Copies of this chain bind each other. A is one copy, B any other.
Amino acid sequence: MTPSDIEAELKKIAALAQLETLPRFRSKPSVDDKAGTLAGKRFDPVTEADRQAEKAIRAHIEMVFPDHGFIGEETGSSNIDSEYCWIVDPVDGTRSFIAGLPSWGTLIGLLRNGEPIAGMMHQPFTGEFFISTGGLAWHEQAGNRDELVTSNTNSLDQAILMATAPEMFEHENLEAFTAVAQNVRLTRYGFDCYAYCMLAAGHIELVVEADLSPYDILPLVPLIENAGGIVTNWRGHRDLYGGRVIAAANVELHQQAIEIITFSSKR
């Protein structure tokens, strides 16, 4: 597959997912839903969006690439020893989704022999794509493309740090995150995958998170790296399968943050 083949597939997949997610975003219970709720079935548009979008994506990939692997949040894994493997989180940021906030996204990544080679974040409410393939990374909205380039701020006290929510950290993870937060210019919460995209786009400098799943982070790795950033686990290793993740705009910031995390864990 060429990079432009991959780009075309990523966008087809985003379009199919959007048909299932966007109509359910900010939806209210209908009379039927209310009757269902009374009968004990909870009105749950985000779970429906997640499930139906993944079903649509999986059906498309199985049809077009019957020999490719698939790792999904909802439907599990199949064929993961194939050369190519797709990894999908149809709605990353389900809590944002249920609160009506346009900070969730559809994540799709492509692994080749286990290595992330392409990825996309699509936010259908704002119409934004963050795409990486063929060694390039760009933002696209209403047909306009802008290259993603990370910030060259290389001093931690000038950096903006983000994480999805303070509640994602417990015990020693909380201590390490707090130690990093005490050394940056500004900490913001609440943006899920969108935060990694803002890092790739050069607007923020650090994302430090815990308890991620592989499909939460692997689709974002090519975006971050091809924009000039670095993403590893908290020990600084690139063998990323979720868990504790740090993304930084550049090597200097990454090193400064890792030192603080390491020191915090030794206390």
Q: Which residues of A come within 8 Å of B, CB atoms?
A: 26, 28, 95-96, 98-103, 125-126, 160, 162, 165-167, 186-191, 194, 198, 201-204
Q: How far is the CB of A176 from chain B (nearest CB, A)?
A: 17
Bound CA span A126–B194, Å: 15
Q: Is the interface of A mostly helix, strand, loop or mixed?
A: loop
Given known A-B contacts A190-B189, A198-B100, A203 and B26 have beta carbons under 8 A apart: yes
When the two chains form their complex, are residues A188 and B187 in contact, meaning their CB atoms are under 8 A apart?
A: no
Bound CA span A189–B201, Å: 22
| Given A101-B194, A165-B188; 15 other pairs, CB 8 A cutoff | A28-B202, A95-B188, A96-B188, A99-B188, A99-B198, A99-B203, A99-B204, A100-B201, A100-B203, A100-B204, A101-B191, A102-B126, A165-B187, A188-B189, A189-B189
24 A–B pairs (Cβ distance < 8 Å), ordered by A: A26-B203, A95-B186, A98-B160, A98-B203, A99-B160, A99-B198, A99-B203, A100-B198, A100-B203, A101-B103, A101-B191, A101-B198, A101-B203, A103-B190, A125-B126, A126-B126, A165-B187, A165-B188, A165-B189, A166-B166, A166-B189, A188-B190, A190-B190, A190-B191
Q: How far is the CB of A202 from chain B (nearest CB, A)?
A: 7
Q: For residue A201, which residues in chain B have a CB less than 8 angstroms away from its CB?
A: 26, 100
Q: For residue A162, which residues in chain B have a CB less than 8 angstroms away from its CB?
A: 99
Q: For residue A167, which residues in chain B have a CB less than 8 angstroms away from its CB?
A: 187
Bound CA span A186–B103, Å: 16
Bound CA span A186–B190, Å: 12
Give A201's nearest chain B residue, CB to CB: B100
Q: How far is the CB of A50 from chain B (nearest CB, A)?
A: 17
Q: For residue A100, which residues in chain B have a CB less than 8 angstroms away from its CB?
A: 198, 201, 203-204
Q: For residue A202, which residues in chain B have a CB less than 8 angstroms away from its CB?
A: 28
Bound CA span A101–B99, Å: 16
List 10 tightest A-B contacts by C-beta distance, closest first. Answer: A190-B190, A100-B203, A189-B189, A100-B198, A189-B190, A99-B204, A99-B160, A99-B188, A99-B203, A126-B126
Q: For residue A189, which residues in chain B have a CB less than 8 angstroms away from its CB?
A: 165-166, 188-190
Q: How far is the CB of A228 from chain B (nearest CB, A)?
A: 14
Q: For residue A95, which residues in chain B have a CB less than 8 angstroms away from its CB?
A: 186, 188
Q: For residue A166, which residues in chain B have a CB less than 8 angstroms away from its CB?
A: 166, 189
